[in-house]
């Protein structure tokens, strides 16, 4: 998992550096004959006519006023370095000829075959690749999380919930099974043995446990009321069984919350 994240980080870094280098190259490009040159002249001491006169060696394509000066677009068809003095500042524009850029050792022979376009990075493909990488790593992370969660043993509270939700209130032994699930929860949580003991013996066992002191009266009332229905032969309605189940669930929630706070 750590290797996947490192690979993803390196991929994003490489793409960012490639994009940055292309921007830097764009800033450093040469000016050739016929290229449009856009300048911003920041000065309050020069008029538009004076500015046109300063750049009379160029073809002025466009000139307009800006908030603190002028925006001027120029071009020239004469190669060489041109210097324009505006106030105490000097503007140097080096115009190169495309012919001088070509290296020729002899007579230039033209090629009538059309040239193929140069290769350029299609960023839409890079975007889709990044999306794919994120989806793959996200899927791996989700799979790892679900696998780890599946292999993690259930807590005593989760076991209690699973056991009680599968019980049917129509079962004649519903309260017996409900009590058994509660005993298993207490044994798992506090490393004691209370299965096979009566309600009075259970109270005697857990009365020394500090975590249960606050809910001890509730535990005692629930156990004794459950015993009254289990051993008296009284027919228990479904509504009453569900009421006792709800009371026990709330009781176990309180015990589990007290455990978490303490830990």
Helix (H) or strand (E) segment spanning residue 101: helix 98-101
- Residues 17, 23: Cα–Cα separation, whole Å: 10
pLDDT the model gives residue 33 = 82
Partnered with residue 39 across adjacent β-strands are 72
How many domains are there within the chain? 3
Evaluate whether residue 56 is within a structural domain.
Answer: yes
pLDDT the model gives residue 25 = 37
Supply the range of the domain harboring residue 64: 34-97
Pairing verdict, β 37-42 and 69-75: antiparallel
pLDDT the model gives residue 239 = 92
pLDDT the model gives residue 18 = 47
> What tens digit of pLDDT does each residue of 102-114 get?
555 555 455 555 5
Q: By three-state DSSP, how is residue 238 classified?
A: helix
Residues 258 and 163 in one domain: yes
Evaluate whether residue 109 is within a structural domain.
Answer: no
Residues 191 and 248 in one domain: yes
Residues 170 and 233 in one domain: yes
Residues 93 and 208 in one domain: no
Residues of the chain where predicted confidence (pLDDT) is lower than 50: 4, 17-28, 108
pLDDT the model gives residue 222 = 94
């Amino acid at each position: 998992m750590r290797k996947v994240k490192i690979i993803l980080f390196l991929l994003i870094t490489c793409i960012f550096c490639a994009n940055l280098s292309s921007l830097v190259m764009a800033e450093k490009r040469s000016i050739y004959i016929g290229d449009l040159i856009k300048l911003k002249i920041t000065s309050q001491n020069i008029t538009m006519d004076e500015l046109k006169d300063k750049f009379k060696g160029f073809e002025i394509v466009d000139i307009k006023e800006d908030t603190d000066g002028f925006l001027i677009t120029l071009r020239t068809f004469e190669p060489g370095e041109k210097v324009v003095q505006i106030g105490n500042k000097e503007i140097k524009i080096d115009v190169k000829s495309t012919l001088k850029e070509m290296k020729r050792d002899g007579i230039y022979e033209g090629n009538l075959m059309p040239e193929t376009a140069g290769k350029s990075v299609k960023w839409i493909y890079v975007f889709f690749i990044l999306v794919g990488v994120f989806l793959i790593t996200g899927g791996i992370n989700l799979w790892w999380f679900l696998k780890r969660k599946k292999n993690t043993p259930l807590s005593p509270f989760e076991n209690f919930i699973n056991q009680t939700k599968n019980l049917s209130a129509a079962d004649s032994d519903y309260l017996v099974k409900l009590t058994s699930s509660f005993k298993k929860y207490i044994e798992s949580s506090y490393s004691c043995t209370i299965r096979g003991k009566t309600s009075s013996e259970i109270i005697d066992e857990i009365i020394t446990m500090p975590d249960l002191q606050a809910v001890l009266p509730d535990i005692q009332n629930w156990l004794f009321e459950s015993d009254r229905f289990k051993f008296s032969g009284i027919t228990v309605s479904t509504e009453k069984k569900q009421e006792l189940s709800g009371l026990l669930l709330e009781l176990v929630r309180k015990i589990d919350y007290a455990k978490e706070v303490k830990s």
